[in-house]
């Protein structure tokens, strides 16, 4: 009897955690995370984002943005990521698409002496970042060819002709194995 109640509560907690993660991800749905941009004193983040926009052939205007900020990184040896909050998802998706088309974005492209890579991605929650990492590792171990993020959702496909499915939890990762 008691173990049944504990199981029910455990399932409910897991359900609620998933709902919270979904809500947190929804709040980030207009955001882009840019990693690899070196930090400097008195930097103007809008100017940096504008320079990135120029390099990827996407004109960024202040009227498209809600805010631009740096956030703490788990790895203190790397520059803090830049979060760009667009006012709508369409502009965000266009910005990400432009960055994908112009491969090889580096710090040197935007005026730094460093030639390290700059990455432009959806701003995922920590739980979704961890899930993406697990999915990529499982895919690597099981010859899955495609794991990607589209509209802040983690997607998977074994090969070019197989069915696409969304990865929402560890249970979905078991479909890869």
The per-residue pLDDT for range 12-61, each reduced to its tens digit, is 998 999 999 999 999 999 999 999 999 999 999 999 999 999 999 999 99
Model confidence pLDDT, tens digit, residues 60-74: 999 999 999 999 988
Query: Which domain CATH number covers 48?
Result: 3.30.70.1820
Domain that holds residue 149: 126-173
Rounding to the nearest 10 degrees, give the CA dihedral for residues 157, 175, 13, 132.
-40
Question: Do 146 and 66 share a structural domain?
Answer: no
Query: CA 56, 61, 64 angle in degrees (round to 5)?
Result: 105
Question: Do 130 and 117 share a structural domain?
Answer: no
At 125, the pLDDT band (50, 70, 90 cuts) reads: very high
Its pTM stands at 0.88
Q: Indicate the number of domains in the chain.
A: 2
What are the contacts of 42-46 at 24+ separation with CB within 8 A?
A: 45/69, 45/70, 45/82
């Amino acid at each position: 009897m008691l173990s049944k109640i504990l199981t029910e509560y455990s399932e409910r907690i897991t359900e609620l955690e998933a709902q919270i993660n979904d809500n947190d991800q929804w709040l980030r749905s207009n955001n882009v995370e840019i990693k690899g941009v070196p930090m400097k004193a008195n930097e103007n983040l809008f100017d940096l984002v504008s320079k990135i926009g120029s390099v990827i052939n996407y004109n960024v205007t202040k009227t498209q943005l809600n805010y631009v900020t740096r956030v703490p990184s788990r790895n203190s040896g790397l520059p803090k990521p830049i979060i760009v909050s667009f006012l709508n998802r369409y502009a965000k998706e266009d910005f990400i698409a432009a960055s994908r088309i112009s491969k090889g974005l580096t710090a040197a492209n935007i005026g730094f002496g460093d030639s390290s890579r700059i990455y432009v991605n959806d701003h995922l929650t920590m739980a979704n970042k961890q899930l993406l990492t697990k999915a990529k590792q499982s895919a690597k171990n099981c010859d899955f060819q495609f794991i990607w993020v589209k509209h802040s959702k983690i997607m998977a496909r074994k090969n070019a002709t197989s069915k696409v499915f969304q990865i929402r939890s560890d249970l979905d990762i078991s479909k890869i194995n």
